[in-house]
Structure 1
Amino acid sequence: MARHDARNWHDCTKMIGLLCLIASVLQHGVSGQRVKVEPEVSSYPGQTVNLRCAFTDATGIQLTMVTWIYEPKDGDRINIAVFHPNYDPNYPDSPVKGRVSFTPSPPNLDSPSIQISDVKMTDEGKYICEYATYPRGNEQGITYLVMLAKPQNSASIVTVVEGTNPVAVARCESVDGRPAAQITWETSANGNATTVSKPGANNTVTVTSEYRMVPTPEDNGKDITCVVSHRTQVRAERFPLKLEVQYAPQVTIAGYDDNWYIGRTNAVLTCQATGNPVPVSVQWKTVSGDIPDTVQISGNELRVLKVDDNVNTTFVCEVKNSIGISRDQVTATIRDEPLPRRGPPTEHIVGGIIGALVFLIIIGTVIALYYKCANKNAPPKYKPPAPVKTNGSTNQQVNAIHFTQPGETLLQNEYYSTQSAEPVTDLDAFDANFEDKKEHYFSTEHSGWDDPENGQDDSEVLPPYMQTGNDYHGANVDRGDSFVSSAVFV
């Protein structure tokens, strides 16, 4: 039982100690918030910086003294400024002595800020504003002074020779910056960057980056850009470059068409070469060692004046630059007769025919659409049908035929009867009269009625179905011979 009680007492004391530690940490955190400072201040060498400090709420607390402490990145804490209300400010020996002072002067405990003039790169570090209070003890706030130095940036190309191992092809450097710069690369070349940093003068940092790759002739002239970013720069600084890869000449002989026949003239071979540096010499030779008499050489061009059996050999073009020598060769085969000429490719002809057909179809479609639109907007081409003879009487003819006056259209003269059509009972007499008169009615020549200047007598009697002025003279038909009613105008 006693052993059990001792174990419980031991556990309780551990718990109490832990709670006390937590309470102490929380109390220190809460009290530390009473001292108001700026978390970070940045400056350039030679400038004057202000490090502000204030006690935000001194209710129930007696402020006794304030001390500014400097803590370098690698070093011990050093008191640099001390103020007690009953004494004058004191500035102990420190790296900033003679350049540090309280502001305003004389200082007060509520706001004991300091300033450091002619700051140096070595002044970077922590600056602690610490209050001695009663009854709470010491409370503090920390400001980080960050010294800035704008670096000197540069980039350059490293001239390399093609090979099989990775080498540095470009170099970029940011010298004496604070903080350290960031360097990146932009390029389509297949490689990787390596970056190293080292301390520079006056607590600065120098960053060097190299772009490494296996150089090939295809990489020569590719774009590569070094991008340097730094806190002191508004935007990143860019250095566009072009890769410089040297390689031996690459040689190709062009112009041989495998149709060298006896008697052919002016057959030409051209030696095409690229290289870095530019090739300095081009030399033609044959595997037999002798150049035929019918061959002329001018620079990179070999011309055969007349093909014969002497040029039935292998021609070699040899090109040289400072990196090396390269060559290419062509073996000429001499024929007795020329090869038959090839006609134009069939696919080109078929393509031309198809293209012409498509063009004609498009033109035809455009023309058809044009005429369709024109006919749609044109007035209707309507002609009234000629009277049709029926088995009825002549009474229907009078109502069926109607002529337009000059300047009128068929639609203007047309009228409709509101009465339903009645069956015609006796129109047999119409045939004889109509045959005699229809030649007169449908003649294209003027009858003289609508032309008073033709010499006709004004007293000429108009047909019974024509209009005179605004009066309408209906057909003079005996109602006893027909059931057709008189015309009604609407």
Structure 2
Amino acid sequence: MARTPPLWMLLPLLWASTGAWTEKVSVRAPAEVYSFLSYTAKLPCSLRPLEPNTTEVTQITWLRQEPSGKRRIVAAFHPLRGPHVSEPDRDRMEFAAARQGANPLDGSLTIHRMRPEDEANYTCEITTFPWGTGSASTWLRLFYAPQVSISRSDVPGQQGRKETILTCDVRSNPEPKGYEWSTTTGPLPSSAVPQGSRLLIQPTEESINTTFICRVSNAVGTGQAARRVLLPAPTAKEVVAVWAPGEVHGFLGDTVKLPCNLRFPESKPQNVTQITWKRILESGHVMFTAAEWGHNLLDASLSVHRLHPEDDANYTCEITTLQEGSYSATTWLRVFYAPQVFISRSDTTGQQGRYETTLTCNARGNPEPKSYDWNTTMGSLPPSAVPQGSRLLIQHTEESINATFICHVSNDLGTGQAAMRVEFPAVQQLH
């Protein structure tokens, strides 16, 4: 039975004059096309010659913009030699209407069995005689439920103790709405602290033999993954422990305190010889952030002033005692802030020297940005500028461009913006 997309996905194709116009020929394509994982998508592209009886198509070329910014030819059609599709997409792409031996005015491309990596900007270029080349671009947006896997890392401590971090690795479109951690037997044990996409499993006096589940949802559906964790019980002498909260929250520019205390029974008093704070970066590198004292200090709490986005990390407090050695506990410091935004630019060159300019709105914030809005200092966008989420595609036409483009990005805490001026001359008409 055929699957029915959600109602919010049943959007009309946004057709616009996105083609590069010459005096005699233009190419039309929708600014966006929507599809779903494993579905079939059609990228419409048609020639609109002003003088059809005197226009002969000599070649149709489809190009895809790769993540590096470069454009790669994925398919081409020649009226005499027929179609050619590049590997590895030869068995998934085909021209929908163009046929060998005819004058193909319809260059639409069909893509079967959609994959996540198919989401990209596609440019349809149609070369004609005698009027030259026209082109138009389409952003193929692929929507799919979360694809989930769980990775594990262990932070070893002294005396054989360790902390385990499970990370829920997800790719999806749209972005995940939330992460839910559980086990095959129900709720999490008290030693497991959920931290968004991460689960911190702290050492306890009990062994752990549990299968943990990460469930992730977005507007399309839900995905999940499971991973079994087996941790032996500590030795009997490990009655000394370091306590720290699972999470501490702070805002950009604030000062926060990361609590850390040594706990031990009255029958086993401890003399602290060293306190060490470590920050675990995403790269896995460990950086020392605090030092040692030469006197007995049972409270090893650390204050972090003037919080930066880079301060968002796992912090490990390690306390060394003369009697028992070293013990540690980990806290996730979460730093929340409105989006910080900057714009980058890339220019690509098509056939016949035609250009396209792509502005990318790069934003970071916590929580993640919810929306991207484009305009100019003069108000609305010009017709040649097509917003594509965090990207803005500006096509070079007979009209010159001299405008300052603004990207506004919002999350639950506020809005950030950045601006970039773009200037280029009009495309010369062919006579």
Task: Please tell me the TM-score bracket, short chain as reference.
Answer: 0.3 to 0.5
Q: Which has the larger radius of gyration?
A: 1
TM-score scaled to structure 1, two decimals? 0.33
**Is the helix fraction higher in 1 or 2?**
1
**TM value normalised by structure 2:** 0.37
Flag the structure with more relative contact order, 1 or 2, with Cα contacts below 8 A and sequence separation at least 6: 2
